[in-house]
Amino acid sequence: MFHSIRWRIAIPYVILIILSMLGIGWYLSNFTRQIYLNDLENELAAEARLAGEFIIPLLNEQTDPQEIDTLARRWAETLAARITIVAVDGTVLGESHDDRSTMDNHSRRPEIIAAAENGWGSSTRYSQSVGDFMMYVAVAIQPEGELLGFMRAAVPLAEVQENVRSLQRSLAVATLGVTLVSVLLALWISGRTMQPLRELTQAVAEISEGRLDGMRAIAGSRPPPRDEIGQLTHAFNQMTAQLSAQIAALQSERSKTNAVLSVMTDGVMIVDREGLVQLVNKAAETMFGIEHSEAIGHSLAQLLRHHQVFELWQYSQASNQPQATTVEAGLHKQYLQCIAAPLGQAMPGSTLLLFQDLTQLRRLETVRQDFISNISHELRTPLASLKALTETLQDGALEDPPAAQRFLQQIETEVDSLSLMVQELLELSRIESGRVPLKLKATNPCELIQQAAERLALQAERAGLALQIDCPSTLSSVLVDPARLEQVLVNLLHNAIKFTPSGGEVRVGAVEEEAQIRFFVKDNGVGIAANDLPRIFERFYKADRARSGGGTGLGLAIARHLVEAHGGKIWAESEEGRGSHFYFTAPLI
Ligand code: ADP
């Protein structure tokens, strides 16, 4: 409590007031006492002089001492004082309150000595005979200059002291009252003065605890005083207003940055000069499978455990230049383009690391390269054999009509296969670019299967295969373009026949599922290797180039596009050497 400024201001004032009151009290009581004593002294001196005048005729050797005693007692009664009459040699001649004969010589009493010297004297001291403090005033009796004796009047000081004590009591009460009032007044004034300071202190404490709602205007309801505290409050209010505005602006900037960082698909990290991660965005967390909390403040090397990224950061730091590299990193060994750029003045010593996932791009690039190499490979064989055939014909085979006939037939076959490929490529590109409008209509799945099977029945028979249809007549109709879906079935059946050795079996059919029909084409042929299975629906992909010699590798790609154009799905299950199962779905009406 006493640490507060309120008390620190109030207490010295209160002490000052108490000390001054005590000083004044002490001075006043002394002063009053002195006045009382002076008055009393003068009064007693006057009375002693008056009584002395009357005693003059008695001061000779003939006078009966008893008579002087009686006179002393009478004067004592009249003056309400103790009266002592002392001879020049100090012998007590008359005494009002004591037995004169038992009293010692008074010549050494201070008041008597003073009276002998100056005509009068006084002394205040404790009286053994009265048992109290007394004031003694003695005057010399010296008519016409001849010293005859001394008249001494004395009164107890009890009354004077009682008066002084009563004054002291009044002063004490007044001191207490004034002190109390001044304490209250000091507290009230200091409390009022301190109120804005207290509010300021509280607001500053709230801000320092991070509670920014403390940044409200102080003493907003009443006008601030014009004193120093008022100026301080005003300055504080201005400061908080500015700070609030700046914090709001910063927060808005920060939320914008956060929003951008969190929706970015590229991973972003900021690493300080010690290599500790200062910032990491959502994409980077997902890329590397790290938690935000474990990333911040941890070293880049520990976190990513990737020496190339770490070295890139080091190079960038050392050269103070942006550096880039491509690495295989991250949770799923993605193909990442990693850029390390020093942040310069914005964040001295820190480096921005940017990770762009190029996996998809790279895959597309691979597919494109595969496509080009595949198409050139596919074209090279027929073109080479065409060239060989024409050269053979030119070199004289024309002279041999049966041989020429055979060569021409082969040329026709090659040209057919080339035109088939071109046709399929055209078809595929048309389907892929969405230029094949689907003529949807309610179609019986079994009819589709039937028609496709009929188209390939002869081929199956020639290959020595049993072609089974497995289609319940209760199936619901599907909403499809029948010609296109039949094409899918034909492609699948064609493959099944092609990849099943003689004596095998091909089953084609459909089952109804929830909201869709699932078609299937199953064979017990050569099957597809597990690593080829995910890729067979790509253009030109041939699982085993030697065995699938005749195909273009486009059939399944066309089938996939057609099924997907109908909103369905196509997939294959296979075990090498035991056959393949192809499935696709089509929506019910
Ligand atoms: P292709 O015209 O070469 O048959 P597809 O796109 O139709 O091209 O098939 C791609 C590859 O998938 C084939 O080369 C083959 O290796 C494999 N494949 C497709 N169907 C089957 C099947 N029923 N059995 C075994 N392999 C198959």
Q: Please give the helix or strand (H or E) that residue 280 lies within, else none.
A: strand 277-280
Beta bridge partners of 503: none
**What pLDDT band is residue 238 in, cutting at 50, 70 and 90?**
confident
Rounded to 10°, the helix 401-432/359-394 angle is 160
Span 249-268, pLDDT tens digits: 999 999 999 999 999 999 99
**What pLDDT band is residue 215 in, cutting at 50, 70 and 90?**
low
Span 306-322, pLDDT tens digits: 899 999 999 999 999 99
Instruction: Give how far Cα 554 sits from Cα of 225, 401, 536, 585, Å.
Output: 90, 37, 9, 20
Residue nearest to atom 25 of ligand 1 (CA): 527
Report the share of the chain in percent with pLDDT over 90. 44
Measure the CA–CA gap between 63 and 66, rounded to whole angstroms: 8
Q: Could you tell me the two tokens for 221?
A: 């309801």
Q: What is the DSSP string of 384-439?
A: HHHHHHHHHHHTTGGGSHHHHHHHHHHHHHHHHHHHHHHHHHHHHHHHHTT-S---
pLDDT of residue 421: 84
Q: Could you tell me the two tokens for 532?
A: 């080829």
**What pLDDT band is residue 546 in, cutting at 50, 70 and 90?**
very low
Burial status of residue 145 (CB atoms within 10 A of its CB: 0-12, 13-18, 19 or more): exposed
Least confident interval from 183-192, 205-214, 304-313: 205-214
CB 443 within 8 A of CB 478: yes
Q: Could you tell me the two tokens for 187?
A: 């507290």
Q: Which residue has the higher pLDDT, 374 or 426?
A: 426
pLDDT of residue 428: 81
∠ CA 276-277-279, nearest 5°, is 150
pLDDT of residue 544: 66
d(CA 547, ligand 1 centre) in Å: 10
**What pLDDT band is residue 444 in, cutting at 50, 70 and 90?**
very high
Span 269-293, pLDDT tens digits: 999 999 999 999 999 999 999 998 8
**What pLDDT band is residue 214 in, cutting at 50, 70 and 90?**
low
CB 342 within 8 A of CB 320: yes
Atom number of ligand 1 nearest to Cα 525: 24
What type of residue sits at position 316? S
**What pLDDT band is residue 387 in, cutting at 50, 70 and 90?**
very high
pLDDT of residue 138: 95
Measure the CA–CA gap between 197 and 217, rounded to whole angstroms: 13
Ligand 1 lined by 525 (C-beta under 6 Å): yes
**Which one of 2-11, 126-135, 346-355 scores highest in mean pLDDT?**
346-355
Residue nearest to atom 20 of ligand 1 (CA): 495
Match 């019910």 to its residue by tokens.
588
**What pLDDT band is residue 217 in, cutting at 50, 70 and 90?**
low
pLDDT of residue 298: 93
Ligand 1 lined by 136 (C-beta under 6 Å): no
Instruction: Give how far Cα 279 sits from Cα of 258, 289, 291, 311, 517, Å.
Output: 11, 15, 12, 19, 51
**Which one of 49-53, 93-97, 443-447 scores highest in mean pLDDT?**
443-447
pLDDT of residue 163: 80
Span 481-533, pLDDT tens digits: 999 999 999 999 999 999 999 999 999 999 999 989 999 999 999 999 998 99
d(CA 495, ligand 1 centre) in Å: 6
Instruction: Give how far Cα 399 sits from Cα of 88, 139, 199, 313, 405, Å.
Output: 198, 190, 118, 75, 11
What type of residue sits at position 398? L
Measure the CA–CA gap between 568 and 515, rounded to whole angstroms: 11
pLDDT of residue 549: 55
**What pLDDT band is residue 114 in, cutting at 50, 70 and 90?**
very high
Average pLDDT of the chain?
A: 87
**What pLDDT band is residue 299 in, cutting at 50, 70 and 90?**
very high
d(CA 579, ligand 1 centre) in Å: 12
Burial code (b: 16+ CB inside 10 Å, e: under 16) for 106-140 equals beebebbbbbbeeebbbbbeebeeeeeebbbbbbb
d(CA 553, ligand 1 centre) in Å: 7
Span 365-379, pLDDT tens digits: 887 887 788 788 778
Pocket test for ligand 1, best of 381, 531, 548, 563 (most atoms within 8 A of CB): 548
pLDDT of residue 112: 94
Mean pLDDT along residues 435-455: 92
Rounded to 10°, the helix 5-55/65-79 angle is 140
Measure the CA–CA gap between 495 and 548, rounded to whole angstroms: 9
Pocket test for ligand 1, best of 495, 521, 537, 538 (most atoms within 8 A of CB): 495
Burial status of residue 394 (CB atoms within 10 A of its CB: 0-12, 13-18, 19 or more): exposed
Atom number of ligand 1 nearest to Cα 556: 6
Ligand 1 lined by 508 (C-beta under 6 Å): no
Least confident interval from 96-105, 207-216, 349-358: 207-216
Ligand 1 lined by 374 (C-beta under 6 Å): no
Measure the CA–CA gap between 278 and 351, rounded to whole angstroms: 10
pLDDT of residue 379: 84
Ligand 1 lined by 513 (C-beta under 6 Å): no
CB 98 within 8 A of CB 129: yes
Q: Considering only CA atoms, give the Rg of the chain.
A: 65
pLDDT of residue 218: 57
Ligand 1 lined by 71 (C-beta under 6 Å): no
**What pLDDT band is residue 164 in, cutting at 50, 70 and 90?**
confident
Ligand 1 lined by 541 (C-beta under 6 Å): yes
Does the pLDDT value for residue 92 go beyond 80? yes
Q: Could you tell me the two tokens for 76?
A: 């004592």
